[in-house]
Structure 1
Amino acid sequence: MVKRRGLAGLVVALALAGPARAEDKQITWSVYNAAPFMMTEGEDRDAGIFDRIRGLLSARLTDYAHTTLTVPFPRILTSLKNREEWCFVGGVKTPEREVFAVFSRPVAMFYPLRVIVPAAKRARFDALGPLSLRDLLVVHRDLRTSLLRNRAFAPVVDGLFRDHPPGQTHSEFAEAFRMLRNDRLDYLVEYSNIAAYYNTGEFGVPNALVGLPFAENPEPTFARVMCAGTPWGREVVARIDAVLAAERASPEYRRIVEAWTAQEDLPRIRAVYDAFLASD
């Protein structure tokens, strides 16, 4: 597990920018608590993957005043639809979202996707044979799962959840993992570094979760900066893309992308990093 690294120069808090002045251009960064990508509280505050990227961008875009606003993810989408001049680090580009938002080149990746189960229930899932998300959602409806509201994974997975919605939804990662721990869910479909974070003993029981591959496991999903689809948003994204072009190949940036990744998944992340760099 990759813990907090010596990236203090990249983790820039609001104090760096100081209070906004009337003559300043401004970026409002929307965030919510979604470890290990965004951490809004506790000793790891601002140490998440997207937090560090947001800090790097804030440090480079010195002609903007930077503020952060903590709100639930559905509120972020609603505000962007209303053309509020916000940005969010970690958005997945979809045709539906491109109607109201503009996206930077990729900043990080979501990969690999797993069926996350309590270690005590692994035998039950192993007995199903090669796992298929379609089978879990259609044939094994007795196995309980939940989906983050407004979540986008990849087309094949999104389509399965759209056609066969689970019986529950949640609004935060921690909420879902609490339900899994308290036997209110049997499994989650989640990225392995999110599960790895909660597998460190975040809830008091280290190594209590197991990630299982499944048939429909998609290729890496790239996370981007998502801003309001306005002239302001397009200008901000153009500036962000210039910063990313200069920074993404650096060892320091690679360490941000790899932060909180389980050791067994590092080779997978590194194998697709060149494709990540070539993407736009």
Structure 2
Amino acid sequence: MRLPLAFLLGIVLSCQPLQAQPQPQSLNWAIVPMPGIFNVEGGQPVSGALYEATQLIDAQMPEVQVRYQVMSLLRMRQSLRKQLQLCSNGLLQTPARDKQGYFIPYLLSTPMHLLVRQPTLNQLLLENGEVSLDWLFANPYLRGAIATARQYPDDISAQLIKARDSGTLQEMTGSLSGENLLLMVSYHRLDYAFDYPMAYSEVASNYTLSDPLISVPLKESKELLPVGVYCPRTPWGLEMAKRIDQAVREATRNNQAFMALHQRWLPAEVYTRFTPQLLRFYEGRSATALSFE
């Protein structure tokens, strides 16, 4: 008896091993809460300049399943050192981190400022509207502090650490996002702290302040600094870094979307001052693929 051809084909196909379906890629963004940068509610980011920028990047990776892990800066550093399968978002580039991960910049940060009350401002020696750290630390009657939870840019970090080690500056723990120092300045428990203008704007909008704070540029901190992502130096990290870099280039082609988030989160005078540099960065970023070693 001759069996129908369709029946025979069905038997043959049913005997073939099933091929595994490709699993969707997943990406864990490790983030540290920070006012105006990553605003967190209920353990998840809800707003902030870097959160909005990350969403623009996520939109260019529809095949990647994204989730956010909120953690302290210390835990983020440990995760990168242990080469865990996540990408640390919102970090400044440093030589030490470059040894542990692949860096993908996607946004420019404005310089860190000094935050003071009006009476303290009247005591500062200002030159062209700026205060020098050398002058500040030579006047120890002014009480200042840095936050354990906050990362400080390379152009001032060495001086801050030296002042901390000499006892001129206090180093304080407290809130995970470090805004407690700004509140302490407002309530006269400190005379000054260091922070980014957009962070203070967010604190001023969402907390009750005793005295308003004034943002004073630092003589030693004038450069816009790239902020980005570190993925671990593993095969997974390399592939994810390449995919994120591609998404960043695609997202920054619409540089007006990035400029709009700067305008929303920065004080107006700071945004106006740095607009040309911000535009040049995003135009260059969209046109340049990174080379990972």
TM (norm. structure 1) is 0.82
1:231, distance to aligned residue in structure 2 (A): 1.8
1:79, distance to aligned residue in structure 2 (A): 0.8
Please tell me whether residue 254 in structure 1 is matched to residue 253 in structure 2.
no
Q: 1:206 to 1:252 in 2, by over 3 A?
A: farther
Structure-2 residue corresponding to 1:50: 50
Does the CA contact (< 8 Å) of 2:40 and 2:46 recur in 1?
yes
| The 10-residue stretch of structure 1 (75-84 or 189-198) with the greater mean CA deviation from structure 2 | 189-198
Structure-2 residue corresponding to 1:195: 200
Structure-2 residue corresponding to 1:89: 89
Does the CA contact (< 8 Å) of 2:36 and 2:265 recur in 1?
yes
Does the CA contact (< 8 Å) of 1:199 and 1:206 recur in 2?
no
Distance 2:47 2:261 in 1: 10
1:210, distance to aligned residue in structure 2 (A): 0.4
Does the CA contact (< 8 Å) of 1:258 and 1:269 recur in 2?
no
Structure-2 residue corresponding to 1:124: 123
Distance 2:162 2:190 in 1: 20
Q: 1:93 to 1:215 in 2, by over 3 A?
A: same
| SS of residue matched to 1:232 | helix
Does the CA contact (< 8 Å) of 1:114 and 1:212 recur in 2?
yes
Q: 1:45 to 1:83 in 2, by over 3 A?
A: closer
Please tell me whether residue 133 in structure 1 is matched to residue 133 in structure 2.
yes
Distance 1:207 1:276 in 2: 36
1:152, distance to aligned residue in structure 2 (A): 4.2
Structure-2 residue corresponding to 1:265: 270
Q: Per-residue CA shift, 1:114-155, capped at 9, x if unaligned?
A: 211023432122xx3432112212x12232222233754433
Q: 1:206 to 1:178 in 2, by over 3 A?
A: closer
Runs (5+) with no aligned partner, structure 2: 1-20
Structure-2 residue corresponding to 1:65: 65
| SS of residue matched to 2:241 | helix
Structure-1 residue corresponding to 2:170: 167
1:54, distance to aligned residue in structure 2 (A): 2.2
- 2:242 counterpart letter in structure 1: A
- 2:40 counterpart letter in structure 1: T
Larger radius of gyration: 2
Does the CA contact (< 8 Å) of 1:38 and 1:51 recur in 2?
yes
Does the CA contact (< 8 Å) of 1:109 and 1:257 recur in 2?
no
1:211, distance to aligned residue in structure 2 (A): 0.9
Distance 2:201 2:119 in 1: 17
How many residue pairs get matched? 254
Does the CA contact (< 8 Å) of 2:50 and 2:90 recur in 1?
yes
Matches within 5 A, 1:187-266: 187-200=192-205, 202-205=206-209, 208-250=212-254, 251-266=256-271
Structure-1 residue corresponding to 2:185: 180
Distance 1:212 1:33 in 2: 24
Does the CA contact (< 8 Å) of 1:30 and 1:87 recur in 2?
yes
CA root-mean-square deviation: 2.4
Does the CA contact (< 8 Å) of 1:199 and 1:205 recur in 2?
yes
| SS of residue matched to 2:41 | coil
Distance 1:184 1:75 in 2: 28
1:85, distance to aligned residue in structure 2 (A): 1.1
1:58, distance to aligned residue in structure 2 (A): 2.5
